[in-house]
Amino acid sequence: MRKAAKVATKRKKAAKKPQARTAAKPPGEPPLSPYFFEAVSEKEETHTLSVMVDNEPGVLARVIGLFSGRGYNIDSLTVSETEHAKHLSRITIVTTGTPMVIDQIKNQLARLVPVHTVTDLTVSNNRPIERELALIKVAGEGNDRVEALRLADAFQATVVDASTEHFIFEVTGRSSKIEQLIAVMAPLGLVEVCRTGIAAISRRAEAG
């Protein structure tokens, strides 16, 4: 009887003790799992890709379709036949994405049948030569016309058309230079801008 009474007393004391509660997980905290891996955020990069393709109908549409079908963005695109004897064209594409996305783009481009080579000019040992041509139309009067001519000369832009009402300037250089010229021309009567997109080539002695 005494043993039974002692056991009952211990059970009552144990029942009265406050049980430890599991603290609620604060919002935004990772799940409590040994298999949880910390997500690594990758920074987006801008890359210039040089793609050599057969110059035949539908090739450009297939390349563009690869980008649009997978949600990849094209910042700039230029294309022209560069080797007439072999009927090869060079497509220069500027795109932005994480390193993983850039690798996916290059791999998927290389799988297309008309594509011969895909070269990432941005990751070459030397920075590529990049140039863009723009035509900038400015319509202004009085001092604005004089200032537009002065600024165009400072940016080494040439006048390719002029009238009593407007100027059309031609400028070649890096995209940043063209952006600066457009910005300074905006308050002087900027009307219209036409840009070719970036053409790029590597500094290496070999092709690619």
Give the residue numbers spanning the domain of 51.
45-123
Condensed to tens digits (0 to 9), the pLDDT of residues 63-121 reads 999 999 888 999 999 999 999 999 999 999 999 999 999 999 999 999 998 999 999 99
Our count of domains for the chain comes to 2
This prediction's pTM: 0.72
The DSSP result for the chain, as a single string, is: -HHHHHHHHHHHHHHHSPPPPPPPPPTTPPPS-TT-----PPPPEEEEEEEEEE--TTHHHHHHHHHHHHT--EEEEEEEEEETTTTEEEEEEEEEE-HHHHHHHHHHHHHSTTEEEEEEGGGSSSPPEEEEEEEEEE---THHHHHHHHHHHHTT-EEEEE-SS-EEEEEEE-HHHHHHHHHHHGGGTEEEEEE---EEE-SSSS--
CATH number at residue 92: 3.30.70.260
Residue 133 resides in a domain: yes
Asked if residue 115 and residue 67 are part of one domain, the reply reads yes
pLDDT at 37: 41
Condensed to tens digits (0 to 9), the pLDDT of residues 19-43 reads 545 445 555 555 544 444 444 567 8
